[in-house]
Amino acid sequence: MTVYPVDYPATIDFPTALVGVRDASAHVESTAANCPNTKIVLGGFSQGAAVTGFVTANVIPDGAPEGVPNPMPPDIANHVAAVALFGKPNARFMGAINQPPVDVGPAYAAKTIDLCVPDDFVCSSGRDFNAHTQYAESGMVDEAATFTATRVLAALPPVASPQAPPPGARPPAAVLAAPPQAPAPAAPPPDPSAPAPPPFNALRPLPPGTLMRCDTVCHIIGPT
């Protein structure tokens, strides 16, 4: 996952956000063209929410300043999984600064979560300046994260299940490997200090307790 910070001067000079609208639109269109399988999430707070809203618009709003880019092609919406807006300036606020209202385009409306803390002077009819800074404390950031994750997962293609073998197909034969055999123990070398056995004489039995070793074949002649 990568995050792209939109490049524009975020100041109290609100019309400078036009630079952000151009930059964000160009980046979204470039991503959709070069990475068509990427699921894009758009988001913004306050002036950034206005930038994002204008990016999704399907028409150039009346009263927009000169230089506003044309709306993005309709098929770009297919690459955007979710839009999260925090404290988006409402029509009252935008009218007070002589700017057109921020309207999310119809192709993005169903995939947009538009959050406003109660009494936030930017996005509601309230006049609480502190409310505009309480989006994390209010839990709305977590709410937007849950909404966004759900939308992204829903937009991903299903995982292909393994194909079943055709009827009558012979199952693959199992290959059994014999375990490695341990080498046979080597015979102990002869002890050079042991006395040599007396020569064998079939007519004279060996003394009791004598061990006999037959290296080839031992023939029994008969009793003495």
Q: Are 80 and 42 in contact (CB under 8 A)?
A: yes
Q: Is the dihedral of CA 141, 145, 146, 151 positive or negative?
A: positive
With H, G, I as helix, E, B as strand and everything else as coil, classify residue 176. coil
In tens, the pLDDT along 13-51 reads: 777 889 999 999 999 999 999 999 999 999 999 999 999
Q: Is 128 a catalytic residue?
A: no
Active-site hit among 25, 46, 79, 124: 46
Residue 147 CA to residue 124 CA, distance in Å, equals: 22
Active-site hit among 23, 79, 124, 132: 132
Judge: domain 14-155, CATH 3.40.50.1820.
yes
Its pTM surpasses 0.95:
no
Active-site hit among 23, 25, 79, 120: 120
Q: Which residues, including other chains, have CB under 8 Å from residue 42's CB and lie 6 or more apart?
A: 24, 28, 52, 55, 56, 80, 82, 83, 84
In tens, the pLDDT along 98-135 reads: 999 999 999 999 999 999 999 999 999 999 999 999 99
Q: Is 120 a catalytic residue?
A: yes
Q: What are the boundaries of each domain within the chain?
A: 14-155
